Structure 1
């Protein structure tokens, strides 16, 4: 492995997408990540299926209700820097792998907990998903067009941005603090907290009087005609974000729209939207992409996830890579001295060799390998 996290040892208890995404980010940046899959048949449904999100892992299967396997996990954790788990509050403790048990044997362990509602509070023990965390965080209500219902932004905000990504950031902060204290700590990463945090900018806009209106009637929620998407002649779309006056002027020039209403004349936004919509209808999406390719008009073709790799900018930056035949986003961000290596598929490095490099007892490695292969 290579990357700025080379030498960091992470144990991930297999779970749903948020924790898995956080572990993937750490693996992308060079950490050794060992995923513990569940050996119990009834638990297998909670794991992320083989594919893009589980890249970079070595895996073993353990039954955490089996005393031998549980002790094996504890011995592995004695050599680890980080443990990631996504159980509901109290489950890890009941299994015997809570913070007290694990950090009692390894005081430097960073114990990262990924949940929807956090480790305490009235909803801590309740089930939820991305959309419910967004709802209570105040992050779902503003998303959507005027007069229409809120629209969930896939599961990008709570599960991935406010969940897995924030978990990875918490891990890195705890590892940094450990350099001075020598002690690990618990990272309580809750998706409802992360979703709220991602709304900080909108709260700032509101406090400044720049977000005064209901859903779909503000600057960045499709209320402004110069910050929205427009249908083209072929039924596909172009995204426009010409917020600054000079960029808006260039947008109008490239579109061939003359005598348009003033950009920030709010009362005439409906008329301005009509003018822009009519102009975009005159050409196809890809024809407009050519028109705006070398401009600062802040207009871009709306690409599907399956064609984004074809755009010249993404292609030149190698923003997408193939891993075991599956095209997927490349690791990010980028580093000049310690660049991340191309991501490897799951189990490209076998668990035995990884654990051997962690100085885990060879007899224990052999026993786990045997049990995991049953």
Structure 2
């Protein structure tokens, strides 16, 4: 068994969530719920690829319990039905149609629990011509028009530094939707079904480009408007040591402060000038000093800037260290690993790191024991391939 940290409950303490999601989108969303105190049980399959990412110490598996059930067996399905009857939330990440074939779709489960919040997370949604299309983060961003804008004119689109569609469009949107539905249930007593399309969500994550397109009638291009690198006031500049610094001086006062600091007041009137000439003026200036020299100089003035850090530097950054955002966690075997701390922070009911990342089937015996099954009954089910148990590594 893993060691659970006993600390005050988070804001979602008492909420029961059943998680049948895979890969990154759903597991990230249920991690957010678990971090805030929800009792999240991940339902794994007893053999073959696990439902979640299942990399050792992968943070999206933290604060959860895992039970391994063979849902092709009626006995396992009946165990899941018993769990659903007591749950608040059921979240799944299969392609449309799979849950119907398994007998765990909303129509079936809502008869067992009328207050159930049932959330489906999929790449393209439950309907439409792409509903059954396979895909990943990069494909959803491509369809939603975001990937096209991500990059530079001379190099074309580039892959994002994180899985933005999966995390924000899938995981965060699912968590937001679930909490919204729970609030409605608190007032009405009614559960409901939620269809989270990652592509839909990514489309909604790009409001500035929407405004640009709507106002100009021209298709936005890479580095084609102010917020994506068209102007000198909002851009990335290479420094003398081949590092980079970011400038985000959108407000006139911050841009004026920067120009005066650089001794180039003549550039103040060129804040929103598009094209390579104005950007090139600043590029030549920033090439005269190293990134850290610029960091020290710009820190003395009220300018929207930040040196571009690699992850090792981020781990050591004074703001990150002060906020205690890099958490060193202990595993039951005595090893340690680092992960980002729980966000955001609450004054009265903080989210907590209560459990290390779970492993497939790690809590099967514990969960079935809570349902009244003795050790012999669990062993018989495991012998028949209905469940699988696994002690903590």
TM-score using structure 2 length: 0.86
Shift of 1:236: 1.2
Q: Deviations over 1:285-341 (max 9, x none)?
A: 222222223532111011123321211111111222223322222222221111112
In structure 1, distance between residues paired with 2:156 and 2:127: 31
Residue in 2 aligned with 1:122? 129
Matches within 5 A, 1:188-199: 188-199=195-206
**Aligned equivalent of 1:372:** 388
- Secondary structure, aligned partner of 2:247: strand
Q: Does 1:290 align with 2:296?
A: yes
Displacement, 1:209?
4.1
The answer to whether the 8 A contact 1:229-1:240 is kept is yes
Matches within 5 A, 1:107-186: 107-186=114-193
For structure 2, which runs of at least 5 residues remain unmatched after alignment?
A: 1-6, 331-335
Q: Which runs of 5+ in 1 are unaligned?
A: none
Q: CA deviation at 1:48?
A: 3.6
Partner of 1:313: 319
Distance 1:97 1:159 in 2: 24
8 Å CA contact 1:257, 1:275 repeated in 2: no
Task: Name the CA shift for 1:64/1:284 in 2 (closer, same or farther; >3 Å).
Answer: same
RMSD: 2.6
Q: CA deviation at 1:353?
A: 9.1
Matched pairs, number: 369
1:3–1:338: 8 Å Cα contact kept in structure 2?
A: yes
Q: 1:256 to 1:314 in 2, by over 3 A?
A: farther
Q: For 1:156 and 1:102, locate their aligned partners in 2 and report how far apart those are by CA, in whole Å.
A: 31
Give distance in 2, aligned partners of 1:309 and 1:136.
34
Change (3 A) 1:6 1:372: same
Give 1:210 shift: 10
Provide the C-alpha distance between the structure 2 equivalents of 1:76 and 1:38, rounded to a whole number of angstroms.
Answer: 16
Q: Is the 8 A contact 1:12 1:33 kept in 2?
A: yes
User: Residues of 1 paired with 2:43 and 2:95: CA distance?
Assistant: 17
Aligned to 2:232: 225
Q: Normalising by structure 1, what TM-score? A: 0.90
- Cα distance in structure 2, aligned partners of 1:200 and 1:367: 55
Distance 1:115 1:363, change over 3 A: same
Give 1:147 shift: 4.3
Does residue 253 in structure 1 map to residue 253 in structure 2? no
The change in CA–CA distance for 1:240 and 1:64 in structure 2 (over 3 A counts) is: same
Contact 1:32–1:354 (CA under 8 A) maintained in structure 2? no
1:15 to partner: Cα distance: 0.8
Partner SS, residue 252 of structure 1: helix
CA offsets, 1:211-243, max 9 Å, x none?
A: 875321210111112211111122111111111
Decide whether aligned partners of structure 1 residues 111 and 354 sit closer, same or farther in structure 2, where only a CA change above 3 A counts.
farther
Q: CA deviation at 1:113?
A: 0.6
